[in-house]
Chains A and B, each alone.
Chain A
Amino acid sequence: NAGVTQTPKFRVLKTGQSMTLLCAQDMNHEYMYWYRQDPGMGLRLIHYSVGEGTTAKGEVPDGYNVSRLKKQNFLLGLESAAPSQTSVYFCASSPLAGGRTDTQYFGPGTRLTVL
């Protein structure tokens, strides 16, 4: 099993450009998450999904959109990138255990710089 994979690993954008980050998991997990990690801030939840075709906002959703068309994939889109979106982005997935979420499995991260 590859676990959770993220594409791309690094990206540099200019202000106003758009891009999509892809997350894929092969563990048949129900839940998937997108976080951003900034120095001294820990991880902050952007959006999450509790199943195929569903998405929900997290703590810092502004400027991002997501889609979960297939259970194994969770896409994070930036429509018009801003320098404030420079960060490391992590995707995670989690199985549904006993009706509640349990351990999260993380991807290796995508380092995004917006100039």
Chain B
Amino acid sequence: SQQGEEDPQALSIQEGENATMNCSYKTSINNLQWYRQNSGRGLVHLILIRSNEREKHSGRLRVTLDTSKKSSSLLITASRAADTASYFCATVRRDTGNQFYFGTGTSLTVIP
């Protein structure tokens, strides 16, 4: 079964706007990561947030983690056409520390 669920499934915005996508998960985690996948390509790691962290920034990316609600959000500020991709959250669970569980992804389209 999927550990993570992203919301929304698809998002379409204008260039320059901010994009927010959410991830919910089911069990206790060591860390949560966000990955990007361009069409027809492999996944690329974006950012990692550990279970004892609440917020993290990397360039135009901002990730929050609420372990009490078992949820995370990824904010992409000042979006660009090149941000068009699918975004996945992945969790590393406490009970299976060497396995990654991916959500179903959010498809982001940034319109120039």
Residues of chain A whose beta carbon lies under 8 Å from any beta carbon of chain B: 4, 31, 33, 35, 40-45, 48, 50, 58-59, 90, 92, 94, 100-109
Given the known A-B contacts A48-B98, A107-B42, A108-B42, are A100 and B104 also in contact in the complex, defined by CB atoms under 8 Å?
A: no
Chain B, interface size category, equals: 20 to 34
A106–B44 contact, CB under 8 A? yes
B41 at the interface (CB under 8 A from A): yes
A106 in complex: contacting residue of B1, B42, B98, B104, CB < 8 Å: B42
B48–A33 contact, CB under 8 A? no
B99 at the interface (CB under 8 A from A): yes
B41–A108 contact, CB under 8 A? yes
CB distance from A35 to the nearest CB of B (A): 8
B79 at the interface (CB under 8 A from A): no
B100 in complex: contacting residue of A41, A45, A50, CB < 8 Å: A45
B48-94 interface with A by 8 A CB criterion: 48, 88, 90, 92
Chain B contact residues: over half helix, strand or loop, or mixed?
strand
A58–B33 contact, CB under 8 A? no
Contacts of B35 in A (CB 8 A): 104, 106
Alpha-carbon distance between A101 and B100 when the two chains are bound, in angstroms: 9
Residue of A nearest to B47 (CB): A103
Interface string of B91-108 (1 = CB under 8 A from A): 010000111111111000
A100 in complex: contacting residue of B1, B43, B92, B103, CB < 8 Å: B92
CB distance from B102 to the nearest CB of A (A): 4
B92 in complex: contacting residue of A90, A101, A106, CB < 8 Å: A101
CB distance from A51 to the nearest CB of B (A): 10
B42–A33 contact, CB under 8 A? no
CB distance from A61 to the nearest CB of B (A): 12
